[in-house]
């Protein structure tokens, strides 16, 4: 519905009365937005961070969070550089020291941190634990944090963009950053058209206590129905699972009792860790592929899921987002004589820096999802033969692993 004339004038006046113009205004306070805000503020830029939901942390929460992330060594190094990683409680982090991948025809592929020259292939961390560190870190760095205010409109002037909030506040920034997820309001408001492609799968996530120790090993099974089941180690005898299941199967899994779900997950992994016991209720989210025509526009940059969407089979979604944050922070910190944080030359530099790693990871994850989704018997034999061949070639394995590690 179009604004009435009086409403339009009032909105324009509110935009013009923005109290200050920040170097950067970030819309979206997920993990990537929070990390970017802290990195920029620590580098001396003025930053405002806004989100439609309240920006709160679950202080003192001891239950395990079903939302977990596999943080790569490269992402961990970035989080350490901004002061977040070392603040995480070590008892809530589990290293992935090895990984066993099994194809739908019995072929196997194994990775180990030792072979890659790393302490861990990844670190399994709860979303809640990361947020509990990043929110106060951003505030201490001087970020103006605004939560619980819906986004109303986005407007542009030659030297700034203005994000108008539903509560009447206007945030003006030389650069507006969209960090508001796969269904990004900012991306749509900026006129960047991008339609996600549905995989026809839903990721079911939950945490379990397991009968036998996992010894820091992650497991992944490509299944005959085209889905992917991953077990990720949590501290002690616990695992977190991500079951990328065809939608009908996901609905079935979510309808099971906790005991039935635990038995089903254990059996799907060939009882590799013995009996399971559910310790968090299952949650789910649809799986979609998203490629945007551009990650930058006039005084705008997209980061995280607002800029790209990938299948979770490689666990790299949040790592791509942290890579965006690290790259954008580096470009703005090292901008030299260019004072304007939203200058086109800086945004082009950021877009170039992220184009190759994002496209490469999308190609690998989407290609694997499609490859293992082909039911033809000859294709099944071919992909499993390829998996076994890679396992016998250490140089090839290292070449595949390094981009994900970094």
pTM for this prediction: 0.91
The one-character DSSP state at 304 is G
pLDDT of residue 385: 83
- Which residue shows structure tokens 């490689």? 314
Cβ–Cβ under 8 Å, residues 189 and 302: no
The one-character DSSP state at 306 is G
User: Which residues does the chain have with pLDDT short of 50?
Assistant: 1-6, 9, 17
Half-sphere exposure of 151 (CA within 13 A, CB side): 26
Cβ–Cβ under 8 Å, residues 80 and 369: no
Show the domains of the chain with their CATH numbers. 5-60+131-196+289-369 (3.50.50.60), 68-126+199-288+374-405 (3.30.9.10)
The span from the CA of 78 to the CA of 405, in Å, is: 12
pLDDT of residue 180: 97
CA 375 to chain centre: 30
Rounded to 5°, the CA angle 350-76-391 comes to 95
- Which residue shows structure tokens 């507006």? 176
The span from the CA of 292 to the CA of 295, in Å, is: 7
- Which residue shows structure tokens 């390094």? 402
The span from the CA of 174 to the CA of 14, in Å, is: 17
Nearest Cα to Cα of residue 214 among 259, 258, 276:
276
pLDDT of residue 381: 85
Cβ–Cβ under 8 Å, residues 253 and 245: yes
The span from the CA of 239 to the CA of 208, in Å, is: 5
The helix (H) or strand (E) run that includes residue 390 is: helix 377-391
Cα separations (Å) of 402 from 248, 347, 399?
Answer: 35, 27, 6
The helix (H) or strand (E) run that includes residue 401 is: helix 394-405
Q: What's the full length of the chain, in residues?
A: 406
């Amino acid at each position: 519905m179009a604004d009435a004339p009086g409403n339009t004038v009032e909105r324009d006046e509110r935009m013009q009365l923005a109290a200050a113009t920040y170097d950067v205004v970030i819309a979206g306070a997920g993990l990537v937005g929070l990390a970017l805000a802290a990195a920029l503020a620590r580098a001396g830029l003025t930053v405002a961070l806004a989100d439609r939901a309240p920006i709160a942390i679950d202080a003192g929460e001891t239950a395990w969070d079903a939302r977990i992330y596999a943080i790569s060594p490269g992402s961990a190094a970035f989080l350490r550089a901004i002061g977040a990683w070392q603040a995480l409680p070590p008892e809530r982090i589990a290293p992935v020291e090895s990984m066993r991948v099994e194809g739908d025809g019995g072929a196997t592929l194994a990775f180990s941190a030792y072979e890659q020259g790393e302490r861990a292939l990844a670190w399994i961390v709860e979303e809640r634990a990361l947020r509990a560190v990043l929110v106060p870190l951003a505030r201490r760095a001087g970020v103006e944090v605004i939560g619980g205010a819906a986004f109303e409109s986005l407007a542009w002037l030659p030297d700034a963009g203005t994000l108008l909030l539903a509560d009447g506040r206007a945030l003006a920034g030389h650069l507006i950053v969209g960090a508001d997820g796969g269904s990004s309001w900012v991306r749509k408001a900026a006129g960047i058209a991008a339609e996600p492609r549905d995989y026809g799968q839903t990721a079911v996530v939950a945490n379990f206590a397991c009968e036998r120790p996992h010894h820091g090993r992650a497991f992944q099974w490509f299944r005959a129905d085209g889905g992917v089941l991953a077990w990720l180690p949590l501290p002690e005898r616990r695992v977190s699972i991500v079951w990328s299941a065809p939608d009908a199967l996901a609905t079935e899994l979510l309808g099971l009792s906790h005991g039935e779900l635990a038995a089903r997950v254990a059996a799907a992994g060939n009882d590799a860790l013995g009996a399971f016991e559910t310790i968090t209720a299952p949650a789910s989210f649809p799986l979609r592929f998203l490629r945007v025509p551009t990650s930058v526009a006039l005084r705008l940059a997209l980061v995280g899921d607002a800029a790209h969407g990938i299948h979770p089979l490689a666990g790299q979604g949040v790592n791509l987002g942290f890579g965006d944050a690290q790259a954008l922070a580096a470009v703005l910190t090292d901008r030299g004589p260019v004072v304007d944080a939203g200058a086109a030359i800086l945004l082009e530099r950021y877009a170039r820096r992220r184009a190759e790693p994002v496209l490469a990871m999308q190609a690998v994850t989407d290609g694997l999802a499609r490859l293992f989704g082909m039911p033809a018997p000859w294709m099944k034999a071919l992909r499993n033969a390829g998996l076994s061949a890679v396992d016998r070639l250490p140089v090839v394995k290292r070449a595949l692993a390094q981009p994900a590690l970094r």
